[in-house]
């Protein structure tokens, strides 16, 4: 058993976001086989949640959000990407150095690119980077769907800076974890094939999601699940409402997630076919109320934890290629793929009218999650990745 230090952007409780779900699962897996310490951003009262998952833990107050003026100055005077500065805190860096001084660690693992800068406090032989996304790719895709000239310019500048920064982080890390083979290949293309990149997929606790496929007489309710100020999510919802939803009569869309934009709140107030919930602590009631999850993603990266949640729950999925990227899911077997607005109308109509199809997709998807994406299945991937450190 070795001693590990994890650096976290937040205390991973509650499990209400993709990064928290991944980080919570990794903490449990690593904590079962190693002496695990952790430093996380969060309020002081959240320390008890983190302490329950680790041997030793502290929380550091999250740095205040930078003003628009500060961010503009940073963009003009620094080559580092915005993301590298978002969670920078001298207090957190001091905490990392303090832990390293007190303990003999086998590895220091940074969870996500926002935390990667703190690896500089550790000797190169200890640095592990868990890449929750290929961030440059996400930002490059967002640039093509940006809602304004300014947003597009920001993304074009940022994806190039992210590519340089991510490549550097991967090269300087003894090992990088990627959530999919697709992301691993993207990171290797940046850092060079000599980099050590291993795949440890995103996972969920499938048993936490009762398998409850939509009944034969299910109401035509569609679900979009995700944080609604995340630009790929906001773009996807807007595209779906402005396009396919207009042609889907008697269909209702539930947009479930925190921080919805003003235009989306207004849409929900003026159109009874659109329900905007805001943040909910538990998405399971909506998974059971709806007939399909829609993932009309035109950008994004990593892999979709919201897709895994729906698959485990028995909720069929209609998605673009980007929406299921990184998952070993097949069109027609585990979900239905749609790209154009016309495709979306056809696929959703097909799913809503065919209970047998819904049931077949639901059973296949649940089996895939249990076999490949439950944390019990991912334990072997994580063990294999860490075993390579000792070769």
CA distance linking residue 376 with residue 303, whole number of Å: 18
CA distance linking residue 19 with residue 65, whole number of Å: 19
The CATH number fitting domain 3-203+375-390, selected from 3.40.50.2300, 3.30.2320.80, 1.10.569.10, 3.40.50.2000: 3.40.50.2000
CB 154 within 8 A of CB 48: no
CA distance linking residue 5 with residue 100, whole number of Å: 9
CB 167 within 8 A of CB 191: yes
Burial 100-137 (b: 16+ CB within 10 A, else e): beeeebbbbbbbbbbbbbbbebbeeebbbbbbbbbbbb
pLDDT at 388: 86
pLDDT at 147: 78
CA distance linking residue 222 with residue 159, whole number of Å: 32
CB 140 within 8 A of CB 95: no
pLDDT at 302: 52
pLDDT at 301: 62
Alpha carbon 15 to chain centroid, angstroms:
12
User: Residue 226: which region, alpha, beta or left (left: phi > 0; alpha: psi -120 to 50)?
Assistant: left
pTM exceeding the 0.85 threshold for the entire prediction = yes
Per the DSSP assignment, residues forming a β-bridge with 41 are 60
Q: Which candidate, 62, 54, 53, places its Cα nearest to that of 10?
A: 62
Domain spanning 206-373: CATH 3.40.50.720: no
* Cis amide prior to 14 (ω within 30 degrees): yes
CB 106 within 8 A of CB 2: yes
Domain ranges of the chain: 3-203+375-390, 206-373
For 49, the token pair is 């949640």
* Mean pLDDT in consecutive groups of 10 residues from the start of the chain, 391 residues: 93 93 97 96 95 95 92 88 96 98 92 98 97 94 84 90 98 97 96 96 96 96 94 94 96 96 96 96 94 92 83 98 95 98 98 98 99 97 90 64
Same fold, 3-203+375-390 and 206-373: yes
pLDDT at 47: 95
């Amino acid at each position: 058993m070795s001693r590990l230090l994890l650096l976290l952007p937040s205390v991973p409780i509650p499990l209400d976001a993709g990064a928290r779900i991944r980080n919570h699962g990794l903490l449990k897996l690593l904590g079962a086989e190693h002496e695990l310490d952790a430093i996380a951003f969060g309020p002081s009262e959240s320390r008890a949640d983190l302490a329950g998952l680790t041997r030793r833990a502290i929380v550091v107050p999250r740095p205040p959000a930078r003003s628009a003026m500060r961010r503009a100055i940073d963009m003009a005077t620094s080559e580092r990407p915005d993301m590298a500065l978002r969670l920078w805190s001298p207090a957190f860096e001091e905490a990392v150095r303090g832990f390293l001084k007190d303990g003999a660690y086998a590895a220091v693992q940074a969870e996500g690119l926002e935390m990667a800068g703190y690896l500089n406090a550790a000797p190169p032989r200890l640095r592990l980077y868990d890449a929750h996304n290929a961030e440059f790719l996400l930002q490059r895709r967002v640039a093509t769907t940006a809602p304004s000239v300014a947003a597009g310019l920001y993304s074009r500048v940022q994806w190039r800076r992210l590519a340089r920064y991510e490549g550097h982080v991967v090269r300087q890390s003894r090992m990088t974890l990627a959530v999919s083979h697709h992301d691993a290949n993207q990171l290797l293309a940046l850092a060079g094939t000599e980099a050590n990149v291993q795949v440890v997929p995103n996972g969920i606790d499938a048993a936490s999601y009762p398998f409850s496929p939509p009944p034969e007489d299910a109401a035509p309710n569609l679900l979009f699940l995700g944080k609604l100020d995340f630009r790929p999510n906001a773009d996807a919802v807007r595209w779906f409402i402005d396009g396919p939803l207009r042609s889907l009569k008697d269909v209702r869309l539930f947009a479930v997630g925190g921080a919805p934009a003003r235009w989306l709140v207004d849409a929900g107030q003026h159109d009874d076919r659109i329900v905007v919930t805001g943040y909910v602590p538990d998405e399971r009631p909506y998974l059971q109320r709806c007939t399909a999850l829609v993932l009309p993603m035109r950008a994004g990266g990593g892999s979709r934890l919201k897709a895994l949640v729906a698959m485990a729950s028995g909720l069929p999925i209609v998605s673009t290629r980007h929406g299921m990227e990184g998952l070993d899911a097949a069109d027609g077997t585990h979900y239905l793929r749609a790209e154009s607005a016309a495709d979306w109308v056809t696929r959703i109509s097909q799913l809503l009218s065919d209970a047998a199809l819904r049931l077949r997709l639901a059973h296949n998807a649940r089996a895939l999650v249990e076999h490949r994406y439950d944390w019990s299945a991912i334990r072997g991937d994580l063990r294999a990745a860490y075993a390579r450190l000792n070769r």
